[in-house]
Structure 1
Amino acid sequence: MADSLGKLKEDDEAPCSGNDEVPGSIKGILCQSCLSKDKQTEAEKFCLDCNEHQCTECIKVHNVLSIVKTHKFVNADTDVMKQRSFDIKGLERCNQHKKLIKFFCEDENQLCCSTCAIVDHRKCESVVEVQKLAGNLMSSNSLIKEKLLAIKEKAEGIIEQIMSSREKLDQDVNRIPETIKQVRDEVIRMFEDLEVSIVKRAKSFQAESHTKLTKRQTRTDNYLSDARTRLETIDSVYRNGSSAQQFIVEHIMENDVKTLYTNVSEEYQNLETASASFHFDETINLPPLPITEYVPGQLTLQFLRQGDMSADMSLTPVSSIDLKKTGDDRSEPLYTGIDFLPDGRVVAVDNENKKCLVYNEKLEKVGSCQLSYVPQSVVAVTEEEVAITSGSDYRVEFFKVRKSNEIISLRKFEVKTKYDSICLKDNRQFIVGTIDYQRPVRILTLTGVEKDFSMMFSNKTYSLDANACTYIRSSDKVVIAERYEHTVYIYDAKTNTKVEVKDDRIQNPCGVAVGPSDTIFVCSNGTDSIVQISQTGQILSSHKIYMDLPYKACVSRDKSFLVVTNSCIGNLKLKKFKIS
């Protein structure tokens, strides 16, 4: 290749002119290569591949370089109807030498003119004519076009989503005054003040959201415009251009389209929907305070990512019971662990009175048994089997909870670490929160084998009741609520990363559970509420549940019910909510 290129005469193509077309009468036609050197020589042949008239001397160049030896010639006086070159706006010319691109270096993945081939690619082993490669290019299989179509589709989807979000946000905001007005007749002055306050905040959020959505739409409009322009170019090339021109355009657009595709994909993945709503509290207790200090409702202003949009929910009280000291109790009960059995019954452990108890779907106590140790947490393992940890003893014990609500001890095993909270990892393993151990959670098998996670946790130990954990099976994530740091951590076992969630709505988080759409429910003991968090760490909602100091929570297997217990001495409750 190096020797052949060394003998190749420099090919200074002249700009396209009338001489580039082969006329019907060819007598007196001059060699185009010689013309570019201000030399007039009568043409002997016309090269069908080079698309040029050439004299005898210039034709000899074809015998020097192997890559042009196969070119076909016809006599210069032959009436050759050349296909007119489709205008691709100069893309077919080398940026450096302004000559026609005729070669492609496969070694360096570059388009070349004859000068590029001689000067820059002399030592390359595979410099091929574009014409040969272009012949194998199938326009119907254009990867560039497929990506551009995908970009166009995603960009249009983003625009549609943004416009829909705008419309929904406007409708949401406009409905807020109507919602307020339905109740305002009874307490007219208070609700007039309320409307002014809430609508002002909603309008402010609306303005901020419009600004954010406008910026996103502007970016996406630019992407969409760029994609459409490139699609028009590439469609025109495939309708009117030669195969060589098609190959050149594909190659030139490749990197820009990759970047464009990445930008639009990122916009698509980060789609957000703005929403606004106002919901009145279930029970409106109006204290003797100015309306600015007490708002009898909750204004929700939020951006939700596409993956979090299905997580919006409400909690409706179904049943509630007071937990009182009974005849055989030594003190008021304290339920440090609760869980749903698969059939809808609830099992609880009373830490103060060493008991395991069973409640039916109406929260009526239907069974109990005395334990020989202080229980700490409980998890349903199978249809009729539960496992109970102890905060004071190195043991885990299994019990059978029969359909008749009789509770029978099955087996137990000794462990080397004390465990607080417990939940299922899979059918053979538990995730357990540790007490006074160098790692916050461990894995415990159903046969008693203890092992550590491979992921990196915070290097700290926790005392009894200082943290609670749960596990999200679908995404292999461990959730840890640090009570005295007012923080929830979401650890991703697949990527060995974590998300830290701190918010004024999360105070003294004591219990965690996995809810609908694999969102996270947190008992915020310090705000008397249940906080819902997405797996990405976004606060989706916060629900006042009219229960002092919510402590532990569990969710039914079908994700339709939530049961919460509290730690308020003298006002202990067990409360069930419908999730919708």
Structure 2
Amino acid sequence: MATSDTASCADESPICSICLGAFNIPRQLTCMHCFCEHCIKSYIKSKAAKVDDVDKIECPVCQTVVRRPHRVTSVESWISSLPINTVLLSISTESKANVIRSCDACQSRDVMISADGYCVVCEEAMCVDCKVVHQHQKATKTHSIVCIEELTRSPKNALKYATAFNCPEHDGEDIKFYCRNHRLACCVVCCGTSHRSCESVLDLKTEASTLLKEEDPDFIIENLKTLETHLNKFTEINNENINNLESQMNVVTAAIQDLRKKINDTFDEFERKIKMDGQIIYKREMIQKQEENQACLSLFNSIRNSRAMLKIVNQNGNNIQKFLVTDKTKSQLTSYSELIREKFEKINKITLQLDVDPLLQSLMEGKFAKLVTKSEYQDFTLTTMKKLRKQCPLLVTGVFEVKGPVEKYQYYTDLVCLPEDQVMLIDYNNNRCCLLDSLYCNISSFPLPGKPWSINMFDDQEVVVSLRDKNQIQFLAVEDNTIRPTRMIKTRLPCWGIDVAEKGSIVVSGPNFAKIKSYWSVFSDKGEEKSYHEYGDRAFKDSYIALNALKTRVYISTWGTNSLFCFEITGSPLFVYSFDNLKGSYGITLDMYDNVYVVGRDSNNIHQLSPDGAVFQIHTAGLPQGPVAITYNRSKNQLLLINESSQRNIHAINLD
């Protein structure tokens, strides 16, 4: 296996994410990730060893499920059915060295004969004799057979014979169409099944150049490069942890020896135990950080490969090839971002030190000191991941009518996305919440005992709703498309905006009329007030509240101030965003990169801000009159917007 030094060097050559070495016959999965032929073969065999018959695997990088073709009966034939990525083959030094390889057909009979040609249809290498047979068989005589060396002459040549642009759902079908409704490339069979009711299915042969103008391969390449930088930073922190663990363990050992001199023989057993504990912690942490680095390195190389692949296709391919690879790599970019974000959310700086009880109360039991690890959290997200947000126009991509039973004078004040693409709406005038399915059809509703204002997910099973006139928070659950109440807690003051912090704490905002101030508070899910914070110079009623992904920042929009306030979760103020073109600040939400979206109800716009309050853009085109509430659908990377009118419409804004 290649070392980390090899993988982290400045060489731009693609690297297998399993062995971390140069590709040796790169085989491509349906998710477009590539691995050495022997690497993916070993991986599939390791899965097959655990079950009697393996019919699917998960990609080692992105965990996408790859199913075995129905016609394939063995692991060897499964590997042979995976297409060779001729582009990577053309630029991989290791693969070029293995161009003179064995004939696939002969090798299946354990006969090793050097291959002479390569069938671009069957994707098999073959010797001279097999090539002759192949050219005279009725089923294969029309197949194109090229010299293997032809594939490695240049990326442009490799793209001519590339067969990696076929439909992942239907074997042997080329991708020829693009569905705008689902934002998916598809084949003829897909068009007749999954997309037959779609309104906008385009022929790639005629529309690829137009579609390519809507994409930005160079931007995606730069974002992939940025992700590589983030992974390097992650590895740097882990390496620093490893170095610190070693040096700090030496310091701890010296401290133990110094302590040993100051006390009597009672400490002999303590010294032995503390050293043993130190070695256990040291080895455990070392192994964990090295494993994390190995996984990080694998992901790094996959990102590098995606970037190299897209760069080559962008420089040498035709428009169809450019678009298909760009479209697929764009989805990979989101997946990579999520994986790296998860890493940064979990990483801590570890310190190993000796924690001694000054009172030595447990001296006779030998428990007067112990080894502890302390983690110093660092918020890298705000300084790194926010750079990935593409500053492009926000476009309303769909307007959907809420279908189902109609109530009089409904006034929607908030909404939230639930699992399985369901949506829950707050109908303020009719004192109810409505459950919508993925097609925005009202499938059930629930009457509330007060005036509801804001809603948010509490966990995977429950949502929380603020009842502004009752000083109460209602917990609701959804089971079998039915809303049911689970519990209720009271608050000291009227609560309007509502969101959820870590450890199940609830954060609310509202007016404190007694002090003529606006406030925000943190409550436990039992109703105990943990903290209380005031802001502003008036008791403004209409407010919304939202937290960032790490639950370290609190954003509050208040209608009367035309402002967005930002605080640390501890209560310290960070900034106030005010702008002449933000009037009637209302609904607020954050996307996966912690970019903030605040609605101007009276100015009829959406302000998109960076996490630190810098304005990205102000969006006005296509918005309904009087927008009120906004939420983020992570599964679709989409904003959903509602307005105060009686039109019962939901506006969708794609962020891709």
TM bucket normalised to smaller = 0.3 to 0.5
Larger Rg: 1
